[in-house]
Amino acid sequence: MAKKRGNALEEHEKRKLNKQNLGKLKGIFRFVWPYRANFFWGMLFLLMSSLTLLTFPFVAGKLIDTASGKEWLLNDINSIALVLLGILLVQSVFSFFRVWLFAKVSESSMRDIRTALYAKLVQLPMTFFDKRRTGELISRITSDVSLLQDTFSVTLAELFRQIITLLAGVGFLIVTTPKLTLFMLATFPVLIILAMVFGRFIRKLSKQTQDELAAANVIVEETLHSIMTVKSFTGEDYESNRYKRGLDRVVQIAMKAAGYRGAFISFIIFALFGGIVAVMWYGASLVASGEMSVGDLVSFVLYTTFIGGSIAGLGDIYGQIQKAIGSSERVLEILDEAPEASTADYQATPISGEISFQNVKFQYPTRPEVDVLKNVTFHIGAGDKVALAGHSGAGKSTIIQLLLRLYELNHGSILVDGKPLEKWNLKQLRRNIGIVPQEVLLFGGSIRENIAYAKPGASDDEIIAAAKKANAWQFISKFPEGLDTKVGERGVKLSGGQRQRVAIARAILKDPAILVLDEATSSLDAESEALVQEALDKLMKDRTTIIIAHRLATIRKVDRIYVLKEGEIVEQGSHDTLAKKSEGFYANLVRLQFADT
Ligand SMILES: Nc1ncnc2c1ncn2[C@@H]1O[C@H](COP(=O)(O)OP(=O)(O)OP(=O)(O)O)[C@@H](O)[C@H]1O
């Protein structure tokens, strides 16, 4: 979930500001380091703009004193007013450069962090993705980095500005008007800290309101997603009432929060202004006794508001930095993950496509207690066509994932062309294995991009030839924009059979020695099926092929079928031999399928 700035901190987002945690920000700082020159200039402008602005209350006080006849460097109120405008102008110029320079630093460094994060993410092993939700990973690259960006562009700058204002302001006041300053310091900060504590409490309450609202929104989201179900069950009134009840709860909590907020705001106005009255009262009595001039009092009040603002600002900044540490922790965690084996020494070499599994045992790292494969051994000669059959969950897809080395083996070995997988360069291995998946997901670009994904830089001729072989050209050429037709989200939606043929064209273009066909579970209409099958037959020619069989109808032609049951190969042989075994597992599977259809 995207986190918005200014919301109450979630418990898990809070981090203590200790040395170790601040060190984490340093880890992110290495991304800022290349832009240090701009950062330094930004800081300098920040310092200058803060110091310039700090002269403002002083000169404003002199304006009043000069008006009441006192002597200063300039004795004409018009010139002093011009000086004040000058101060504002100079500080505006400084502020502009500060904002611009910090933006430059933060935008560039955050781009670098995002690029590094993304490059790292896509190189991480499957185990990493199994353990995390996609939404969480996306939020790291979006919200977490945005929060860091805020920190480096705004928060750090604000922190220094507030500290400079606070120290310089208090220092100046102590030197010029020590008595009143001590009086002010005894009242003002106490009030501000009280206000911050109350503020936090109120924010907690408003977070509860937001949570209730989010819960109510879930009802809308859920029902709109499955509006057909709602309608078919005539659940409209039920859902409307459910939503209304949710909203009633929101109102209830929001009103409770509003009660506290009202009290809080009244208190703040009363207490803070009360504080100002107290300071002004004491100041006025000092003016009355001649210990202080009116101009000094005006400067004093202005400085005090500056200081008050800084203290209040520091509270927010504190929260921001706590959050930023949490974000850097999450970002660094990904950056520190170990990627898959390096593919630096990649060379394109043709392979013959012989595969052998020897005593392979495997558990998924997320479920180490379950043996998904138990002692699987088989050999597929180059150019052989085999099928993996078995109930859902028997381990068919797992075998393919292991062949692609998406997971590391626990026991046994897998050899391709006689060489163990660990010895293969990952890129070389995967480049030689083509997959036509069960559910073809196309990227939201053009058909050309989708086919050429297998071979970036492929020429149009190559793409069209692949599309023709895949029986895809017939429908692609009928689109007015041909290969440039956009598919997905806002483009043309392709039918299941068409998507499969695009995937086949992709595999043809990849031209792998080993082909994996994950058979579609849902059947296509007869014509589509025939076109897909014909394309597949062409694709399988001269390649080692493993078919993951879900519907047994299409695997009659393979050389050998391996029948898997709970992670073990229980039978193997051709369709005809296996189907003839009356008590056989495969024969039973076939019978069940026919009973189903
Ligand atoms: N990433 C994973 N993490 C943990 N367990 C998994 C993972 N993928 C699969 N499994 C488990 O491993 C077992 C085998 O799954 P696999 O996907 O290999 O079966 P399958 O034979 O291909 O099934 P289907 O025909 O339904 O695709 C199942 O019990 C499944 O729950």
Query: Which pLDDT belongs to residue 2?
Result: 36
Confidence of residue 10 (pLDDT cuts 50, 70, 90): low
Query: Token digits for 369?
Result: 């207690």
Q: How far is the CA of 333 from the centre of ligand 1 (A)?
A: 28
Query: Token digits for 69?
Result: 């006849």
User: What is the average per-residue pLDDT within 8-35?
Assistant: 72
Q: How far is the CA of 398 from the centre of ligand 1 (A)?
A: 6
Query: Which pLDDT belongs to residue 489?
Result: 65
The average confidence (pLDDT) of the chain is 84
Query: Which pLDDT belongs to residue 92?
Result: 94
Q: How far apart are CA 58 and CA 295, in angstroms?
A: 8
Ligand 1 contact, 402 CB (< 6 A): no
Ligand 1 contact, 131 CB (< 6 A): no
pLDDT(17) > 80: no
Chain position carrying tokens 């986190």: 3
Query: Which pLDDT belongs to residue 6?
Result: 38
Query: Which pLDDT belongs to residue 4?
Result: 38
Q: How far is the CA of 392 from the centre of ligand 1 (A)?
A: 8
Q: How far is the CA of 298 from the centre of ligand 1 (A)?
A: 75
User: What is the average per-residue pLDDT within 294-307?
Assistant: 86
Query: Which pLDDT belongs to residue 417?
Result: 92
Chain position carrying tokens 């600002």: 313
Query: Which pLDDT belongs to residue 523?
Result: 62
Ligand 1 contact, 396 CB (< 6 A): yes
Query: Which pLDDT belongs to residue 522?
Result: 62
Ligand 1 contact, 390 CB (< 6 A): yes
pLDDT(196) > 80: no
pLDDT(165) > 60: yes
pLDDT(93) > 90: yes
Confidence of residue 504 (pLDDT cuts 50, 70, 90): confident
User: What is the average per-residue pLDDT within 120-143?
Assistant: 85
Of the candidates 405, 397, 394, 393, which has an alpha carbon nearest to the alpha carbon of residue 433? 405
Tens digits of residue pLDDT in 45-54: 999 998 898 8
Percent of the chain residues topping a pLDDT of 90: 21
Ligand 1 contact, 183 CB (< 6 A): no
Query: Which pLDDT belongs to residue 7?
Result: 40
- Range with the lowest mean pLDDT among 439-448, 478-487, 504-513? 439-448
Q: Are 279 and 303 in contact (CB under 8 A)?
A: no
In this structure, how many other beta carbons lie within 10 angstroms of the beta carbon of residue 68? 9
Write down how long the chain is. 597
User: What is the average per-residue pLDDT within 69-75?
Assistant: 77
Tens digits of residue pLDDT in 412-428: 999 999 989 888 888 88
User: What is the average per-residue pLDDT within 239-247?
Assistant: 93
Q: How far is the CA of 397 from the centre of ligand 1 (A)?
A: 7
Q: How far apart are CA 43 and CA 47, in angstroms?
A: 6
Ligand 1 contact, 398 CB (< 6 A): yes
Ligand 1 contact, 372 CB (< 6 A): yes
Q: Nearest C-alpha to atom 9 of ligand 1 is from which residue? A: 398
Of the candidates 534, 539, 570, 395, which has an alpha carbon nearest to the alpha carbon of residue 454? 539
Q: Helix, strand or coil for residue 572?
A: strand
pLDDT(8) > 50: no
pLDDT(96) > 80: yes
156 HSE (CA, 13 A, CB side): 24
pLDDT(539) > 80: yes
Query: Which pLDDT belongs to residue 1?
Result: 34
Percent of the chain residues topping a pLDDT of 70: 94
Q: Helix, strand or coil for residue 372?
A: coil
pLDDT(596) > 60: no
Q: How far apart are CA 147 and CA 5, in angstroms?
A: 8
